[in-house]
Amino acid sequence: MDTLPSLFLSHGSPMLALEPGETGGFASRLGPAIDRTFGRPKAVLAVSAHSTARQPTLLAAARQQAVHDFGGFPQALYALRYDAPGAPNLAPVVAMLLGAAGEQPHLLDRGGLDHGIWCMLRFMSPDADVPVLPLTWPPQHPPERQFAFGQALATLSAQGVLVMGSGSITHNLHRVFAQGPPAVDAPEITESRQFRDWFARHSAARDWPALFDYRRQAPFAADMHPTDEHLLPWFVAAGAGDHGDAPVRLFNGVTYGCLGMDAYAFGSSASTLAAAL
């Protein structure tokens, strides 16, 4: 059985939970493809753009539930739940790995899945039967350090733990709302397309120096990421899975014309997962 790849998933708007579109369809295929190909993960270690802290912190509650960390959306969205088991026994293992890499992780007997986590897991694992361990991470560090942070977690995949980064391959909310209420199927703007294409090309080439320097080298980088907390989980997931193999783009999509929904897999079995979808 191949080792689990690590993943980066673009979660987009919380409305994904009510309006799945092509991204929801992809995520609904992704979970079963993982189960068929690698077996059901023993746990998900989730690194989300919406759960950050000055030092890494493991939310090691015995039970997890959806946190509605947003405002101004339809009431139906706030009624959605995602109650999943926690993974308190995994937390000390992750803390040890991070500590060995020079990090100073904390463990909290608390839970909570932000929408970047539960919106995706509702499609991937609708029965909410896979334990989830959220890991908050320091967003102030540059991409190369985020990659090293992920490398500290690389051995988890061999233990059946799915390392899942959640963010957005492009994320400029001003662009999304600049013209009033956006159309989810609006044509993609040039800036988004060029950035996503650049990222896909350099990923396929394993051009880590360029990827780490994306804010200077990628077209429209500051436009597509005025702040980069939604892209940095990509580097964490990449570090957790990279063993000399190129990242594989599993899904290529966009919503609202500029909110990229791309998904990537990392590691020696990334292409195996892509073939199973």
Q: What pLDDT is recorded for position 143?
A: 98
State yes or no: pLDDT of 131 exceeds 70: yes
Long-range CB contacts for residues 184-187, cutoff 8 Å, separation at least 24: 184/15, 184/19, 184/21, 184/255, 184/256, 185/21, 185/255, 186/256, 186/257, 187/257
β-sheet bridge partners, residue 86: 132
Residue 108 has pLDDT above 80, yes or no: yes
pLDDT of residue 179: 67
Average pLDDT over residues 108-116: 96
Q: Domains of the chain by range and CATH?
A: 6-276 (3.40.830.10)
pLDDT at 61: 98
Answering whether pTM is above 0.95, one says: yes
Summarised one tens digit per residue, pLDDT across range 161-182 is 999 999 999 999 988 887 676 7
Axis crossing angle, helix 232-241 with helix 143-151, rounded to the nearest 10: 40
Residue 2 pLDDT exceeds 80: no
- Position 133 scores a pLDDT of 98
- Residue 1 has what pLDDT? 56
Is residue 16 within 8 A of residue 9, CB to CB? The reply is no
DSSP 85: E
Residue 33 tokens read as: 């493809």
Residue 222: how many other CB atoms lie within 10 Å: 12
**pLDDT digit string, tens, across residues 4-17:** 999 999 999 999 99
Q: How far apart are CA 82 and CA 129, in angstroms?
A: 10
Q: List, for residues 227-276, the tens digit of each pLDDT value.
A: 999 999 999 999 999 878 999 999 999 999 999 999 999 999 999 999 99
- pLDDT score of 74 more than 90: yes
Q: How far apart are CA 111 and CA 59, in angstroms?
A: 5
Residues 6+ apart with CB under 8 A from 178: none
Locate 124 and state its tokens: 């991937």
Reported as type and span, the H/E element at residue 75 is helix 75-78
Q: In sequence order, what are the residues at sequence separation of 6 or more whose Cβ sits closer than 8 angstroms to the Cβ of residue 92?
A: 107
Cα 118 from chain centroid?
11
- Residues 189-200 have a mean pLDDT of 97
What is the biggest distance separating any 2 CA atoms in the chain, rounded to whole angstroms?
49
